[in-house]
Amino acid sequence: DIVMTQTPLSSPVALGQPASISCRSSQSLVHSDGNTYLSWLHQRPGQPPRVLIYKISNRFSGVPDRFSGSGAGTDFTLKISRVEAEDVGVYYCMQATQFPRSFGQGTKLEI
């Protein structure tokens, strides 16, 4: 099974400042079809998660462009260029390259 490890687990950040979250997988996430199925999700308190980024760097519909994803193979990063108040919550990376699907432990973003 692929283990997803996020760092940091908690990230205090000031409004307007950048933030960065790392995610490392225990195996390469490159699928046999050539795609890398690494996505980033955001969950606000009391809400279901919502997808921000899919296939490493593609922003989902309606996601602000202050969110960006990068990486390859086993190392990936989510960056927020300027944190806004609505960005608080927990961020998860997730792999859909292999079964079972797996998530990182979550990174709590605090203002």
For residues 81-100, which are near another protein according to CB under 8 A? Answer: 90, 92, 94, 96-97, 99-100
DSSP-assigned beta bridge partners for residue 70: 77
Q: By C-beta, is 83 or 92 nearer to another protein?
A: 92
DSSP string, 85-98: GGG-EEEEEEE-SS
Backbone angle region of 26, left / alpha / beta, with phi > 0 → left and psi within -120 to 50 → alpha = alpha
Q: By C-beta, is 22 or 102 nearer to another protein?
A: 102
For residues 11-70, which are near another protein according to CB under 8 A? Answer: 35, 37-39, 41, 43, 48-51, 54-55, 58, 60
Q: CA-CA distance, 69 to 95, in Å (whole number)?
A: 14
Q: How far is the CB of 17 from another protein (least distance, A)?
A: 25
Q: Could you tell me which of 102, 103, 85 has the C-alpha nearest to residue 17?
A: 85
Encoding tokens for residue 95? 């792999």
Which member of 44, 72, 84, 101 binds another protein (CB under 8 A)?
Answer: 101
Site for another protein, rule CB under 8 A: 35, 37-39, 41, 43, 48-51, 54-55, 58, 60, 90, 92, 94, 96-97, 99-106
